[in-house]
Amino acid sequence: MAGPRTLASSDDLALVERLRAGDERAFMTLVERYQPAMLRIARMYVSTTAVAEEVVQDAWLGVLKGLDGFEGRSALRTWIFRILVNIAKTRGAREARTLPLSSVWTPDPDAEHAVELDRFLSGHDRWPGHWASPPATWETVPEDRLLSTETFRRVAEAIERLPDNQREVIRLRDVLGWSSQEVCNALDLSETNQRVLLHRARAKVRRALEEYLAEGAT
């Protein structure tokens, strides 16, 4: 994929050194960090959770066996997920699923609107497509409400409800803080598709927040 690559960090290189030296704790550190995301992503390619678990285990073994080939030309996590996705794809193809595999990260072709269309003026001669009911500023929402447990519960819930591909992209980007480049490289996903998935995901989380924050505003 084109574009600048994220190189391995010094933390990455130190971890790889420790793995090569047989340090189990270094391995378990990586497991803690990436296992949950790896499992969910593997699950998108194969038919059952049990198979996804096997795929992830195969991926970890692939990581260990491939350590000598890791040259630090990508971030360690990018390299790990790349191995995972390759194994998951192969396994998914072997299962001969009816879904074409390229569809895993392809956004649903049905149009989705970031904002409900009835919030815009239509057929208005002067301002078609402009806000009929504009969003309220959140700058006046008290910080202790904005950062409350309930707010985070709503955000988590909204993410949970997303289609798999939107959910995994927003998690990697906005929960875990990966760059778009890394996500594209790790998941073998085009930048355009990544942006569409991220756009749809963020729009839905925003909507859930808007709904929740409006509840207390009156």
Partner 1 sequence: MNCRTLVELVTDYLEGALGEEERAEVEAHLAQCDGCTAYLEQIRTTIRLTGHLHKEQIPPEAREPLRRIFREWDAGRSASDR
Residues 40-79 touching partner 1, rule: CB under 8 A, are: 57, 60-61, 64-65
* Of the candidate residues 156, 161, 190, 211, the single one contacting partner 1 (CB under 8 A): 156
Closer residue to partner 1, CB minimum distance, 164 or 191? 191
Site string for partner 1, 184-203 (x = CB under 8 A): -------x---x--xx--xx
CB of 82 to partner 1, least distance (A): 19
> Counting contacts by CB under 8 A, is residue 27 touching partner 1?
yes
> What number of chain residues touch partner 1 (CB under 8 A)?
54
CB of 98 to partner 1, least distance (A): 30
- Residue 187: both structure tokens together: 């998941």
Closer residue to partner 1, CB minimum distance, 31 or 99? 31
Tell me how far apart the alpha carbons of residues 91 and 44 are, in angstroms, rounded to a whole number.
11
> Counting contacts by CB under 8 A, is residue 2 touching partner 1?
no
Instruction: Give the CA count within 13 Å in the CB-facing half-sphere of 60.
Output: 20
149 vs 81, 153, 154, CA distance in Å?
A: 31, 6, 9
